[in-house]
Every structure is written in C-alpha cells, then in structure tokens.
Structure 1
Amino acid sequence: MLQKTQPDRMNSSPAKGLRFSLALRFALREMRGGLAGFFVFLACIALGVAAIGGVNSVARSISTAVDSQGQELLGADIRFRLTQREVNEDERAWISSLGTVGESATMRSMVQRVDGSDQALVEVKAVDSSYPLFGELVAEPALDHAAMLGEANGGFGAVAPALLLDRLGIAVGDEITLGKSRFQIRGELITEPDSVSESFGFAPRLLVSMEGLRAAGLIQPGSLVQYSYKVRFDTPRSGSQLEALRDEASERFPLAGWNVRTYDNAAPALSSNVERFSQFLTLVGLTALVVGGVGVANAVRSYLESKRAVIATFKSLGASGNFVVIVYLTQIMLIALIGIAVGLVLGALMPFAARTALQQLLPISNEVGFYPGALALAAVFGVLTTLVFALLPLGRARDVPATALFRELGFDAKGWPRRSYVIAALVIAVALAGLAIFHAEERRIAVIFVVSAIGAFIVLRLVGSGVQMLARRAPRVRSTALRLAIGNIHRPGALTTSVVVSLGLGLTLLATLALIDGNLRRQIAGNLPEVAPNFFFVDIQPHEVEDFSTLVQRELPGDLIRVPMLRGRITALNGVDVKELNVPPEGEWVLRGDRGITYSATKPENSTVVEGEWWPEDYSGEPLVSFSAEEARELGIKIGDTLTVNVLGRSVNAKIANFRQVEWETLAMNFVMVFSPNTFAGAPHAWLATLTAPDAKPADESRALNAVTRAFPTITSVRVKDALDVVNDLVSQLSTAIRAAASVALIASVLVLSGALAAGNKARVHDAVVLKTLGATRRTLIRAFAYEYMLIGLATAVFGLAAGAVASWYVVSRIMKLPWLLLPEVALATVLTALILTVAFGLIGTWRVLGHKAAPVLRNL
C-alpha cells in the first residue's frame, strides 16, 4: 500500500513538507541512542571551529583595543615625524596652532659605564616636560619630569629598563656616559605608553630629556635622528576632520617630507602584523578543519554502514533515496551543530584565556569580550566542511538498492554517487575556498594556501592508491606476517587511503614549518655570521672619518668599507605621487618611510650592474640613480624612468641610469638607491662604515668596540652578532607560537587516524577470528598488523617530508631569497612521528580486536 500511494503523495508540496517532517521524526528517534561512533566527528569539528573562532576573536580583541586606545598608543591625537631635521619656524607655528605640542627625538647610540669597562647599544628617546600627552609613564621610583630627567648636580637624569641595567651591571643611582655627558640612572623604566607606535628596536630604551640629548652632543649634521611632534587637540576631532588635517599638512608644506599619523591609525605595523598572524592561524585552523573533514567522511560512512539494515528496511517499505538522505543528513547536521557549538564556546573563551599573555606582550588594556563576527565565520566554516565531506557518503547510500544492502557488507562497491551530489559537494568546496580567500587580508597567500591544500589532498589520495597498487604487485614474501600485512594494505575496504590522507596533511604542515624554521635558524646563527660584517658604525661625521679609520684598523685590522649616507623618502615615480600607485605587497616596503641612500662616483664593490650603465667618475649632468634590480621589478620601473626623493625637506628628481643586483642576505653595505655624486652636493650628511674581520675573537671585538666608544662617543657601533641574537630570539619565539598553533592540525590528524582505524575494526575482527581459527597465533597477527601500519606510516612520512620540503623550499628560496637545505633531523622527526602515531594507534585498536571470542563472530558470518 505504501509503495502504491508514495509517488502521488510525494509530488505535491504538502507531501514534500510531510516527507521532511517524517524524516525529521525518524532522525530524532534514531538519535535517542546517543552519539556513539561520533566522537571523532565531534572532536574534529569542535577543534577546527575553536581554532578559527578563537584566533579571530583574539585578533579582533587586539584590534579593538588598538582602535579604542589609539591616543595612548600614539601618545597624541596627531603626530608629525621628521628624519634628520627639526621643523622650521613656519611648520612649528602651524603645529602649535593645533593644540598642546610635545616634542621628542629618537636615535641609536652607545652608552658606557663611567669607568669605560663596558658599553651597550641603546635606543635613546628624548622627551620634553609635557611627555606623555596621553597614557602614563611608569617608572620605579615614581618621580616627576624634573626629578626624573632634569639637570641636577651638573648632570642630567635618565631612566632605563632592567634589561639595560643588567647588561651593564649597574643599578638605579649609578651613572653612565652618553655621548659627551654623564647621566644618572634615576629610575627603572617599567612602561612606556607609546612604545608600540615606535619602530622595532634592536636595543633597550634609554629615556632622557631633550636638554640632556643636546648636551650629549649626539645631534650633529647628518645624524640619524628622528624628531616627533605630538599634538593633543583642545577639542576632539572626527575622522573626517583628521583626514582633512592630513591633507592640509600636505598642501601647506608639500616639501616637509614628514610622516603624519593620527590616533585612528596609531600602530599600523602592529595592526598589520596581527592581521597577518591571525590570517595564518585561520588558515592553520582551516587545515585542521579540512583534515577533520576526512574524519567526518569516515564517521559518516561508518555510521551509514552500521545503519545498513535500517536503510534497507526503509527502502523495502517504499522510502525513496531522497528520504534516506534527508533522515541521515538531518542527523549528521544536528551532530555537527553540537560540535560547532562546543567549538564556538571554546573559541569565545580564548580571548579571556589569552588576556594575561596579551597584557604582558602588548601595552594595551586587558578588556576583552565576545566577537560574534569571528564566531559566525568559524561556524560557517564548520557547516560547509561538514556538508562537503558528508554529501558523497550520503550520495552513495541513496542509490544502493535494498537487495544489495541486505546482501553486501556496505556501500564501497557502489563507487561514485550520482552527478548531482558530486556537483553539490564541489560547489560547497568552492564556496569554502572562496570564503577563506575573501576573508584573508593578503589574498594571494590565501589562494596559494587553498590551491596547495587541494593539491595536497588530491596527491594524498593518489599516494594512497599508489601504495595499494604497489602492495598488490609486490612479490610474494616468505614471512607470513609480512604477507598478511601487504594483503591488508590493498584488500577491499583497506584503511590505506584514509590513514595516508588523515595523517599526511598534518605531517606536511609540520614538516614545512620545521624546515622553514630550521633554515632560518641555520642562516641567522650559522651562515650569516660567516659572511656578515662584524660591525656597523653609524653617524660618523666627515671630519672624523680618517681618524676613525686609523683607530679601527689599529685595534682590529680588517676590511673597512666607508660610504656617505643620508635618509630620504621616495615621494613620486615618473611624476605620480606614490600614494596613488598600486604597488604589489612585496614592493611596498621600498615606498614606506625613509630609506638609507648614498652617492658614489664608482660602482660599489659588492654590486653587479645587470642593466644600463654606470656614470663616469667625473659626471656632472642631471642627477642619476642606480636602483636595486629586484625592487625595481616589483615597483614596475625601468631604465630612463624618474623618481622624486625628499631629503632634508627638499625634493630631488633623478633619472634611473642602471639596475644593480643586490645580495641583501649577506648583510653587507647595500642600498636600494645609489645616486651620482652631484645629486647631493653641499647636503649635510654623516658616514656609514662596516668592518669585516673574519678571524676576530670576541675579546678582540670588545676591545675595538670599547676603543671606538671612548674616542668617538657620538659614533654608534652595532655589533652584528648581538643584532643577530635579537633576531634569532624573535624567530624562536615566533616559530614556537606557530608550531603550537600548527599542532592543532596534527591533533586533528591523530583524531582522524584513530577514527579511521576504529572504523576498520569490524572487518578486522572477522579477519582475525578466521585467521585464528585457521591456526594463526596472536603473535603472528600482531606482527602482521604492526608491519601494515609501519608500511603505511612510512609511505605517509615520505610524502609529508617531500611535500613539506617543496613548500619550505619555495618559501625560503623564492620568497625570503635565502639558501635552503633539507635538514636530516627534520626528516628523521617526520618519519618517526608518522611511524609512532600509526603503529601506536593501530596496535591499540588491534589489541581489542584480538580479544574477541571466535564463536559469536563465526555464528554471524
């Protein structure tokens, strides 16, 4: 009766609604048995959703804090920054008309103990009595500006962080020498409110007064000093008023060459880095979710296998394939929503858990909240991932006839589902990839990631099939256990493809990150010190060059290279303002802020002209410039183009005469722009020098550094090894954070692996019972399963290592432009990780399989 009336009833709209209602009732009834078998499903979805939702919530909490505390972070409503010069009278008058003005200056210099026994590089920051205009300067003990930094007993005061005090072995109350003056350390610097808006420093801060800095004699013509003029408005101004004020500053003083920043963009570098890091971690979370999708597919297939008799009964009673799909899709989505809900709760709590760490790392308030947008994005990712990986198993179940379900063990023999399900899965997969790309700040990187993930997924499927093919064609071996293992790898329903796919993605990601990190550490700690100079010397005045050179060569003989240096900012290319140019991200750094520039009559020793010609030594025509070839290509400029550079408030136009190949990775003296000598005739400037002494010992370097600091207190000496140590520590912290985040993908892989192995236990119970009945011992079976897992794990490790090597090579060699090497310790760790995970989880499940009694299983065969 049901079969006769079903078609008519299901063609009408009310019947369709009734069909869905009936399917929902059946779905809910079947779920009364609990969520057994769906632990991996739930864990994978919850883990991926929590990672995406949590990372984006933390990022938005930081961005919200930066936006809401813009005045404190910038230390002003608006800031005007100049390099190598102070404002002139007209500029000062106009800035003063805007509100209360605070003046500060920053530069690098050397400080010494009074007895000259030790010295250190510092980031000097000089402030006036109005500092800070916003926020709070915290020092121990708490003193006012005059008591902290003012002049007393013939010397000025200073405050410094504990790092500098420990480095020099001094304490509060002791004196140090800065330039030509002595300063008393009157407090320990705890919090500098506007530090996050300053540029990254390689040395600890030393806070002094403007009067103290002038008394030290560090500011000389051409010195690398930055002046900041911070304004606090008398009355608040809106965003449009701030934009109008920036435009007015450009119109009134087009040649000022200053950098203008307002509180609504207080820390662009921090905001950009947070966005990039959150994008990376979002992609890592998406990787975990995609890996978890394999677990979803396995769980759905296993669940449908367990419901084979129920589905057959449905179909025998006249239920359509669509009815079956609706029943089980409803169950799957309800279960997915539970996992998504768990993930959203964990993601929402992550900013609260990260509050203490954020407060220690960033000078922002610890106010956090819930961020619905970030959590909604994670939920959408979770829903789409579930649908992508659930549709194909459901499509297979839809078209299997009832007779086949009663007769066969499962759905695997059916092959691909009908085209509509494949197309629907592809459409949802494209939507998932599109959402990841659209959400990303740097979409090119997101596209590369998405394409790589799809490629890795396809290749992993092929690797799994290839391993099965090789096992199928392997010659017969004498060992019974090994022969059983090889047979298990390629038999119908084998776990090979599931294990390779589930574990391969996580191993690939970890191998990639480990190889990138290892090559960076190798370059920074090993290769760079061998080719880089021992010292950089900055702010050498023209009248000091010869005496300085004589002293250095006497104290530490080596290759001393000296060049004049100025600071300038590119303001236009071919007459077009750089603000109006659409520049690729990799070339933006050249146009962002001031660049070091130089001039030379002859081609620099460490450069190779790859296009154009160098000017004659006695050249006196129009200004010419030699440009770095790689950066020129990124900016899209060619020989004969013109650029405008602002130097000391003056705009200089120059024609591009040639391109040079520059090897930035050597840390040698290199410049993006080298001008013809006549370009800056008469312009005040200082000199820059590098000293390379490959055989110098640390004691020799310390002696030379001490001698230079004593004889030339205004020259800044940078020991390259110290700078590399700072960078290495930063890379270490960053790589630790990235590896911790990437381990989420490996956890998802482990969950999927355990689920895949558990899903195959039913078939293995039958195999084990039959083999034991035929005389196989428990030891033989354990060896067979161990061999099987080892072979699959080894194949997965080889792929993970190969794919990770290719990805890391591209990043290190093509993007970072550094030498790449396959590190044996990473290769060994990858292989061992794969083998340990597969064998351990496999044998845990196998031990339970081998414990089944034979009689109950044989009765059901």
Structure 2
Amino acid sequence: MGWSTAWRIAKRDLNARFRGLRLLLVCLFLGVGALSAIYSLTGAIEGELETRGREILGGDLQAEVWQRGPTEEELAAFEALGEVSIGLRMQASARNGDLVSPIELKSVDEAYPLVGVLTLEDGRDVGAPAMDEAWVSRGAADRLDLAPGDTFSIGGREARVGGIIANEPDRLSEGFSLGPPVLVRTGFPEAAGLAAPGSFYQSKTRIAFDGPRELDATVEDLETRFPTAGFDFDTSERASPGAERFVSRMGQFLVLVGLAALVIAGIGIGGGVASYLEARRQSIATLKVLGATSRDIARIYLLQIVAAALVGSLAGLVAGLALTPLLGAALEDLLPVAAGVTLDPRALLVAPAFGLLVALVFAAPPLAKARSFPAMALMRARAAPLARDRAAWLPVTLGLAAIVVLVLLTSQQRMLSMFFLGGAAAMLAALALLGWAIRRLAARAPRPGAPLLRIALANLHRPGAQTGALVTALGFGLSAFVLLAAIQTSIAGNIALSVPARAPDYFVLDVPRDDEPAFRKLIEETAPGSDVRTVPALRGRILAYGPEDAQVVVDELEELPEGAWPLRGERGLTYADEVPEGNSLVEGEWWGPNWAGEPLVSVDAELGEVLDLDIGDTITIGVLGVERTARIASFRRIDWEALGFNYVLVFSPNALEDAPHNLAATIETPGGPPPELLQALVREFPSSSPIEVGGLLRQARDLLSQVGAAILAAASVAVLAGLAVLTGAIAAARASRLYDNVILRVLGASRRQLLVLQLLEYGLLALVLSGVALAIGSGLAWLVVVELFEFDWLPDWPTVLAVLGGGVATVLVVALGGSLPLLRAKPARALRTL
C-alpha cells in the first residue's frame, strides 16, 4: 500500500471535526500559540531596538559622566568623530502657583536631536527650545496644570511652555526617572543655579559619526585615552541596555514557559493518541485481516495524526500572531513595539516546528504499539492491552535530538535552556518511575477491609490501568499550580520588602553645604519634631582595587566578577566620621573623628567577599576626573532593606571633603508631611530637588506588579495545558472504566458507590503526588525567582499549600466530571456495544 492509498483510507476514517484527536489539537494549540506569541513579541521588540538604535540613543555613541561636562581635550576627541550634541540630565522641582512636581530636567543644545525627530502635540517638528522656554511632557503638564503659553518656574527661574511633547525620540535610552521630562536649552540649568560645582547632574554627549566606524574599537580607544575620566559609553548597537536585558530575560523565561507547556502538552498528545488508537482497535484489526501490513497501519494513522497536528499547530500559530498586537499595545509605553502584526521568522518556523516535533516524540510510542499488535489480539480489546514496541525508539530519539538542536540554535541562554531540557527529562523520568512504583506498591499493599477502598487500590495496578499516564499528568499539573503560587507570592513578598516599615517621607538632593543650618531650621519650623539626616553626596567610579602593589584595573577585566555590580559605571560616594546608621562593622576598625592620617575607606562586606579584598588593600576611584586612592580600614554589613542612605564605599573625610559636592538629606516627619513642607522647600531652596518617597515606592511596586502579572499570564498557559492533559488522561481511561462500571452495576453497585470509588482512586493518587508536586514546583519556582530574575526567595507557604489544595480539588472535580457520563450509562445498552 502506497502513501496515496494510505491517505485515501486515512481521510475517510478521519472525522472532519477530528473526533478522538481533539486533545491533540487543544494541546498543540496552547503550546504553539504561546510560543508564537512569545517569539513574535520579543522579535518585534528586538527588531525595533536594532533598527531604531541610533534614534533611541540619539546618535552612534554616547558618553555619560556625572557632575561635569567634557573637558576641552575630551570634546576635541569627540568632535573628531563627527557631529556632537551635549546636554545635561538632573532631578529638579517645577512649580506653578501652589502646584509642585518633581521633574527630569533635560537640557539640550542647538544640534539636538542628532537622529530622529522631536515632535510636539501641535504637529511641529522642533529642536532645542529658546532660552527661558521649555518643551513639557504631557505628564508634567497634567501635574502642574500647564498649557502652551503658561509660565512656571524651575529652580527659581521662570520658563514659558513652548509646547507639549508628543514624541521624544531618545526617551527609551534615558532610563528610569523620578519625574516627567521637561526639555530646556543648554545654559538654563546653569542660569537657574542647578548645575553649580558639586550639584548632582549627568552630562550626556551624543556623537553622530561622520563616516563608517567600528563602535567597539572606538569605545576602546576613548577609554584608553581617558582612563580616569569616569565615562560610561553606550552605542547604537546597545541603545537601551536596561530594556535589552529585560527583554532578553523575560523573553527567555517566556520561551521556557512555552516549552514547558509543550512538554506538558506532549503528555496529553501521547495519551490522546493512545486513546484514539484504542478506539480504532477493531478498524486496525479489520485492515490487518484484509491484508494490510504493519507498515500500512503505521502510514494510515501517522497521516491522520500529522493532519491533526498540522491543524492544531497552524491554529496556534495564527492565534499567537493575532495576540501579538494586543500584547504590543499593552507594552507600548514601556518598550518599543512595532504596531500591527509582526511576522517574525522564529514565530513562523520555530514554534510550529517545536509543536510537530513534540507531537512526533509523544505520538510515536502508541502508534508503534498499534502497528505491531497481532490482529487477533486487537480483537480482544478488553483482555489484551497494547504492548510496547521497541521500534518507537528511533523516531523518539530523532525527535528529541531535533528538539535539543532547535532549542540550542534559537536560545540566547543556552546553558539555561539545557538545564531546562535536562530538568524536563528528569521530571518525566521521575514521574514515570513514580507511576511504576505506585503500581507495584498498590499490588503488594495489604487489602483494606472496606470494599470500595479495596477496589480503588486494585484499580491502580490492574491490567490496562492508566496509572502511569495519570501520575505524569497529575504530577505536571499539580507542579504547575505550585510553581505559579510560589512565583506569584515571591514577587508579592519582594514588593512588600521594597516598602520598609520605616521609610523617610522625602529625599532631598543638592542641599548646599553652607546652607545646612538654614535647611534644618526651615524643616523644624514647618514640620516640628522631624528627623533630618544629611550626608555628603558625590559620584565616582571604582578604577582599581586590591593590594597596593598588585591592583586589579577594572577596565582591563574581560568580565566583571559575579555580584560585582558596583564596578559598573559611577556610584554614589560619601564620607563620615562615624559608622553610618543601619551599618555594622564586621571586620577592622573605624577611624575616629577629625582623622588626619592616610585616606581610609570602609567597604560593603558582600563586595569585599566578591572581590576577595582584605584589610590593608587599596581602592582607587575617579572623582570629577581625578584619581584618589584610599586604604581599606574595615568591612561593613549594610541593611539594604532600610530605605535610606546606603553606600558601598564610605571614606574618611580627608579623602573626599575637598572635592566640590553638596549634601543629600532624608526627612521623616512625626505624623506625615504637612502640605506646606514641599512648598517651603521648593521656595527657599530652589536649586535642591525634593523627592517624595511615596511616589518612588509606588513606581517600584507597580513595576514589580507588572512583572508578577506577566508571570501569572505566562504560567497560566502551562496550567491550562496541564488541565487539558488531565482531562485527556481521564478520557483515555473512559472505555475501560465503562466496562468496569457496567460489571459493577450488574453485580449490584449503586451510582453513589461508583462515584465514591472514582473519587477514592483519584484522591489516593493526588495525595501521593501532592508532596512530589510541592518539591518539584517549588524547586522550579526558586530557579525562576532567584537565578533568572535575581529576586529574593520569599514564597508565602500557607498560600502555596492552599493553592496546592485547590489544585487537588480541581483534580477531583475534573475526575468527577469525567465520571458522570459513565454513571449515566445503561448496563443493557452498554453490554450490547462492548
């Protein structure tokens, strides 16, 4: 029999509504749909970041440095590369009458924007505003009740609203801000006293190359020429590192969720195909009696399965592509997403390929069984269950190898993907072994005296029992419930942790050192009894560390040590006579007041462990382009959960006090800040920047909540797949259970007893598997929360156990729902059809 003849037979036998193969359709629809949506969305974002890299960055290269602009020598080096645009970024406060709002003040020069178009809501394409004019974002206009033509003040200097910003081309590269942006012309911050020496601001120099240049080589040359300048360089290839890192991590997590859904779906596919072929026993036997060979049988039913798999995969692909614009619309304010449907090659090719490969791997064993079973044995459907066929190992092996290769070719984190595949294989093997162990233990266990319990126990090991399939389906399903609950509660725990029990009401930046007494007096008069804490605030970059005669130069490191985040770019620095509040010494000694000896520094103990530092080693930093070296005198344990001033490096005063700087302050009021406090701070200290902590915490809480919601939505796909598999496993056992129920009804069993029997059987399995699911699900959740997202592991165990209990209840409800049709069967009619 050729393939064409096999297809004619397969087509006649295949119901147009795919009756019997609907579980395969549902499982592939869920898995392929999830993967295609994930690939399409991440592909759209990555494509926008790549194609719009110059526009997002505002040029080919950007050099950032704190508290100063480029020197003449540095500017000459930048101008030799192409056209240059220089601007400042800082936190400030804007005021319109009694309305006050923190803003991100952005000064730009006449060359801005080098790339892209700055558009106002009135349709104008503009550049830098005129002096004492401002382009205001819609958020700032709404907070301050501003309209074009209105006048407001920034740092005590008035500005007129020249227009409302509709599109700021480089907004994504600006990163996180504590207020809506306001654009002014270069020179405005200096005229308003906001960029005086020691003020907290960031200089950004954008360069549009005058010809083709190799970005990495250009950056390396600039770092070599200005090793102590403290520049952070960004290129158009990595215009928004934060967005790229978020998209990469979230995308990888979502892909793993999609693959997990497909693995779970694969179990359902295997069970669905086995059930479908079980129902076709007589047809297969008839074909064999009429002369069909085992190869012919394999061809006929392989064609049917492939046809159903293609329909399910294509339907999932279409659904995933259709879902992408909705996801893009939800994320357009956070990430660059192209409008409309994005036809990403990975979504079009890889997602269906995964679906078909998973269908091949899990459908091959039951198909091989049906292919090789003798015709007479097929006729004895109730007495002779299908045996294993070793011929299935070849397609299974080839399919698994193809899945591994496809994962490695498409994954950005191959090691993580390999761990996932290995974990999925180990989990399948463990559940299969557990299913075998349950059958053996059930067969050897003492027979209970209660008849229903005795029959339920016997059903776990009788010939043709679906215990193995049920254990796998239940194990994956309940593990998905635990995984979801553990991740969600850990995210919630991190949100709660980000809101300390005692937090200041305000942070205030750029308090002039000479005006500290007046600053404290104003707060005491406006909010009596307030606790005010001030610290010197500087910015600097760690250039080298280690023993004095063998320092490690940071720029010469090929890769930063794990956990050495303070080595990236510039960090906050301070000095103090005493150990800062919330810190405790773990090694070494603190310098006393009025220290006049060698400059010393106290280092965060965790950083000291990461960098293998010892007491007596030295640290060299760059502050305002000047190198300063201090010897390590102590290590401190920092309470990072306290929302206050926490510095990795705290120096002795004689190390930094001669550098230009201002103070930063926290204000804690006894009964909540009075409304007039913010007004008084902005009025009396216009060059300072008060920041309400409540708004900052709300932003952090909202961000973490969005991450939690994304995880919830993604994990729900795996849960749905698990429920579909469980339903399929129960449906696959329906034929044999119909036979058993009819016999028991003839022997006098009532419907209530049969129902209790079903609940006992599934309840025993669920009880055993609850502990397994708790271990597996919480272990996977730990990997996601701690290793992938780098959050603290803070699950709410009562909630996790409650969700697991809800999962067990769901299993029993699904089992009950699958049993009701069997309870309604008429014994006489059923016996005539068996």
TM category, shorter: 0.7 to 0.9
The corresponding residue for 2:153 is 177
1:587 aligned counterpart, secondary structure: coil
Distance in 2 separating the partners of 1:360 and 1:759:
47
Aligned pair partner of 2:417 in 446, 467, 473: 446
Contact 2:554-2:567 within 8 A present in 1 as well: yes
1:594-613 to 2 correspondences below 5 Å: 594-613=570-589
TM-score, scaled to structure 2: 0.87
The corresponding residue for 1:581 is 557
The change in CA–CA distance for 1:429 and 1:589 in structure 2 (over 3 A counts) is farther
The corresponding residue for 2:354 is 381
1:665 aligned counterpart, secondary structure: coil
Distance in 2 separating the partners of 1:114 and 1:269:
37
The corresponding residue for 1:4 is none
The corresponding residue for 1:707 is 680
Distance in 2 separating the partners of 1:343 and 1:132:
43
- 2:226 is aligned with what amino acid? F
2:735 aligned counterpart, secondary structure: helix
1:528 aligned counterpart, secondary structure: coil
Contact 2:537-2:573 within 8 A present in 1 as well: yes
Contact 2:511-2:664 within 8 A present in 1 as well: yes
Distance in 2 separating the partners of 1:343 and 1:318:
38
1:367-406 to 2 correspondences below 5 Å: 369-394=342-367, 396=369, 404-406=377-379
Distance in 1 separating the partners of 2:638 and 2:784:
19
1:206-245 to 2 correspondences below 5 Å: 206-233=182-209, 235=210, 237-238=211-212, 240=214, 242-245=215-218
Aligned pair partner of 1:498 in 466, 469, 478: 469
Deviations 1:258-302 (A, max 9, x none): 223232322222222212211111001001100001111102322
Contact 1:255-1:650 within 8 A present in 2 as well: yes
The change in CA–CA distance for 1:644 and 1:27 in structure 2 (over 3 A counts) is farther
The corresponding residue for 1:677 is 653
Q: State the shift of 1:230 in Å.
A: 2.0
Distance in 2 separating the partners of 1:174 and 1:285:
52
1:444-593 to 2 correspondences below 5 Å: 444-461=415-432, 473=445, 476=448, 488=459, 491-525=462-496, 528-553=499-524, 555=527, 557=529, 559-573=531-545, 575-583=551-559, 586-587=562-563, 589-593=565-569
Distance in 2 separating the partners of 1:268 and 1:159:
26
Q: State the shift of 1:858 in Å.
A: 1.9
The corresponding residue for 1:87 is 70
Structure 1 residue 340 corresponds to structure 2 residue 313:
yes
1:733-752 to 2 correspondences below 5 Å: 733-752=706-725
The corresponding residue for 1:268 is 241
The corresponding residue for 2:251 is 278
Q: State the shift of 1:131 in Å.
A: 2.6
Distance in 2 separating the partners of 1:167 and 1:470:
69
- 1:758 is aligned with what amino acid? A
Distance in 1 separating the partners of 2:501 and 2:517:
27
Structure 1 residue 295 corresponds to structure 2 residue 268:
yes
1:130 aligned counterpart, secondary structure: coil
The corresponding residue for 2:115 is 134
Deviations 1:367-422 (A, max 9, x none): 764222443332342243233323443455566556654446377574x654x755
- 1:56 is aligned with what amino acid? Y
Contact 2:190-2:196 within 8 A present in 1 as well: no
The corresponding residue for 2:628 is 652
The change in CA–CA distance for 1:126 and 1:849 in structure 2 (over 3 A counts) is same
Distance in 1 separating the partners of 2:368 and 2:254:
33
2:563 aligned counterpart, secondary structure: helix
Moved more, 321-330 or 578-587: 321-330
Distance in 1 separating the partners of 2:483 and 2:123:
49
Deviations 1:621-656 (A, max 9, x none): 655443323344445656565554322122334455
TM-score, scaled to structure 1: 0.84
Unaligned 5+ segments in structure 1 are: 1-20
- 1:58 is aligned with what amino acid? L
Distance in 1 separating the partners of 2:517 and 2:401:
66
Q: State the shift of 1:107 in Å.
A: 0.7
The corresponding residue for 2:29 is 46
The corresponding residue for 1:33 is 13
Q: State the shift of 1:37 in Å.
A: 1.5
- 1:667 is aligned with what amino acid? L
Structure 1 residue 835 corresponds to structure 2 residue 806:
no
Moved more, 246-255 or 208-217: 246-255
Contact 1:84-1:567 within 8 A present in 2 as well: yes
Contact 1:83-1:567 within 8 A present in 2 as well: yes
Contact 1:180-1:215 within 8 A present in 2 as well: no
Deviations 1:588-611 (A, max 9, x none): 633332211223344333223445
The corresponding residue for 1:158 is 134
After superposition, the CA RMSD in angstroms is 3.8
Moved more, 714-723 or 505-514: 505-514
Aligned-pair identity in percent equals: 36
Deviations 1:776-808 (A, max 9, x none): 334443454355555655665665455444544
Contact 2:481-2:803 within 8 A present in 1 as well: no
1:119 aligned counterpart, secondary structure: strand
Aligned pair partner of 2:91 in 103, 108, 119: 108
The change in CA–CA distance for 1:600 and 1:464 in structure 2 (over 3 A counts) is farther
Q: State the shift of 1:335 in Å.
A: 4.0
1:280 aligned counterpart, secondary structure: helix
1:627 aligned counterpart, secondary structure: strand
Structure 1 residue 119 corresponds to structure 2 residue 100:
yes
Q: State the shift of 1:338 in Å.
A: 4.0
Higher share in helix = 1
- 1:731 is aligned with what amino acid? L
Distance in 2 separating the partners of 1:477 and 1:714:
85
Contact 1:437-1:443 within 8 A present in 2 as well: yes
- 1:388 is aligned with what amino acid? V
Q: State the shift of 1:762 in Å.
A: 0.6
Moved more, 583-592 or 82-91: 583-592
Contact 1:644-1:653 within 8 A present in 2 as well: yes
The change in CA–CA distance for 1:66 and 1:820 in structure 2 (over 3 A counts) is closer
The change in CA–CA distance for 1:446 and 1:326 in structure 2 (over 3 A counts) is same
- 1:565 is aligned with what amino acid? A
Aligned pair partner of 2:47 in 64, 67, 71: 64
Moved more, 244-253 or 468-477: 468-477
1:718 aligned counterpart, secondary structure: strand
The change in CA–CA distance for 1:77 and 1:676 in structure 2 (over 3 A counts) is same
Distance in 2 separating the partners of 1:822 and 1:67:
40
Contact 1:340-1:379 within 8 A present in 2 as well: yes
